[in-house]
Amino acid sequence: MLIEKPIPNLINGVSQQPPGIRLPTQCEEQINGLSSVVYGLQKRPPTEHLARISSSSFTGSFIHTINRDKWEKYIAVIANGDIRVFDLNGKERTVKKPSGVTYLKAHDPSTAFSAVTVADYTFIVNKERIVRSYDPTKNIKLTPVNQRYQTITITPIVPAYKDELWKREKWFRCWSLYKCRIGGRTYSYSAENGGASGFASYLAAKLRDDTGLHVVNNGHAVEIPLNSGQQPFPVVDESATSYLTWDTRTYYRDKREGVERITEKTNPRCTYKQTSGIVRSTTSTRLIGYRSETGDILPAPTPTNKMGIVHVRVGDYGTTYNVNINGVLQGQVKTSDKNRTEISTVAITEGLYSQLSKKLSASFTVAQKDNVISITAKNANADFTLTCSDSLGDKAIFACKGRVQSFTHLPATCFHGFTIKVAGENGIADDDYYVQYQENTKGERTSGSWVEVAKPGLNRR
């Protein structure tokens, strides 16, 4: 039985389906035809011979197309331990190869190599080669490089404020003031905006702008690198506590017994009273690296002192925050069910820092930066365990030492140079990696960020 139906075109090529279900625009066999949605069915264009590029076959060679843009397209061929490049007209281009040609030797180039082109660069990998380490310190003479630092340490003003009642009518909260003069410039910071760590962070940022130096905030301290022969900046502490004061007004009032003299308090306000010992300055010299004969500076080895951080991630009402060192409770803060000021992550951190800095002073160095506390063993040979817990399902505070399970457990702001391992999938070590918090990225002064780095202690790459 013949079936008759119109065929609009043959643009959908060959189909192996039964004739009854294939599209009308498909065919069973197509010889020397080219189907096009735009131009319909056309003759297949012929093969054009452009040039003879080699007298021998490229069988078994690795061939990679370099498609830089619509004007520059090339074909790279790796065979017999050599590389040749041709343009699309068949003309061979000159390849400058002063060194590294031995890397192109392989038993089977077609499977041994992989390549990728990014803009002007093509990266070639020989999968038959074993990756070897490179030691930048081998056979070179190194000279120690020392750096002088001026360290400005901020001691918390306790208490940070006073609540005072005025004539049983109104409460005044008088906040203390962190203030100092450094190099002739005055820097002030109300305790209402944050404690000693807040002032240190503010001071570091301002000094970076004013001096052009890479000033680093390290908890309650600010470190200023000093150039060769540069004297430390003069520092004058002008910090003050705050209390309630007022003016007095005297007037007279007539009474039957005579004239009465009355003194009245007016214009209540918070006034500052200068204190001392809040802002202190010291200088020190530290080894920062080694200079090679060519003038390059290699960073000094990472200190071996064991260090961990406590990250207060969430502040909530009626929550208990615990910090344990070697299994012993060393710091605990309980927030109230009503007081809003107590649930600030910085306030909780300052409470824990106050306890830890006192209890651990003999064996550890404790510092605070915003909602993060660093705990470092003073003895480089001593290790310790650091754990944290809370009554919010252990989601409000995290201990980060050695490694963390997730990158999200790390704080947004941390201490410069702190390095930690981030674990990948459970039981799989191949996807583990290390990150370091850096406040100076590729020579640019930044607010700080986490950067992936090599494992600490490796001097090879």
For 307-330, the DSSP string reads EEEEEE----TT-EEEEEETTEEE
159 preceded by a cis bond (ω within 30 of 0): yes
Note the pLDDT of residue 349. Answer: 94
Per-residue pLDDT reduced to its tens digit, 366-382: 999 989 999 988 877 78
Side-chain half-sphere of 38: how many Cα atoms within 13 Å?
0
Per-residue pLDDT reduced to its tens digit, 107-150: 989 899 999 998 888 999 999 888 776 666 566 788 888 999 99
3-state secondary structure 203-271: HHHHHHHHHCCCCEEECCEEEEEECCCCCCCCEEECCEEEEEEEEEEEEEEEECCEEEEEEEEEEEEEE
d(CA 225, CA 410): 28
Per-residue pLDDT reduced to its tens digit, 236-274: 999 999 988 888 888 877 777 777 787 888 888 888 999
Question: Is the pLDDT score of 363 beyond 70?
Answer: yes
Residue 297: how many CB atoms within 10 A of its CB?
13
Note the pLDDT of residue 138. Answer: 67
First to last CA, the chain: 77
Q: Average pLDDT, whole number, for the chain?
A: 87
Cβ neighbourhood burial of 412 (10 Å; 0-12, 13-18, 19+): middle
d(CA 195, CA 176): 10
Note the pLDDT of residue 51. Answer: 84
Kindly indicate the confidence band of residue 209, based on its pLDDT and cuts at 50, 70 and 90: very high
Residue 303: how many CB atoms within 10 A of its CB?
11
Kindly indicate the confidence band of residue 347, based on its pLDDT and cuts at 50, 70 and 90: very high
Question: Is the pLDDT score of 306 beyond 60?
Answer: yes
* Percent of the chain residues topping a pLDDT of 70: 93
Question: Is the pLDDT score of 155 beyond 70?
Answer: yes
**Could you tell me if 286 and 147 are in contact, meaning their C-beta atoms sit under 8 angstroms apart?**
yes
Quick one: which of 397, 395, 437, 438 has its CA closest to 420? 437
Note the pLDDT of residue 441. Answer: 60
Chain centre distance of CA 224: 21
> Whole-model pTM?
0.43
Note the pLDDT of residue 149. Answer: 94
Note the pLDDT of residue 302. Answer: 56
Note the pLDDT of residue 453. Answer: 87
Side-chain half-sphere of 77: how many Cα atoms within 13 Å?
19
Kindly indicate the confidence band of residue 312, based on its pLDDT and cuts at 50, 70 and 90: very high
**Could you tell me if 281 and 151 are in contact, meaning their C-beta atoms sit under 8 angstroms apart?**
yes
Per-residue pLDDT reduced to its tens digit, 25-66: 899 899 999 998 888 899 998 888 888 888 888 888 999 999
For 174-205, the DSSP string reads EE-EEEEEETTEEEEEEGGG-SHHHHHHHHHH
Kindly indicate the confidence band of residue 304, based on its pLDDT and cuts at 50, 70 and 90: low
Per-residue pLDDT reduced to its tens digit, 379-393: 777 889 999 999 999
Note the pLDDT of residue 52. Answer: 85
Question: Is the pLDDT score of 459 beyond 60?
Answer: no
pLDDT: which is higher, 297 or 328: 328
* Percent of the chain residues topping a pLDDT of 90: 40
Sheet containing 82-87, strands listed edge to edge, beginning at the edge strand earlier in sequence: 62-67, 73-79, 82-87, 92-93
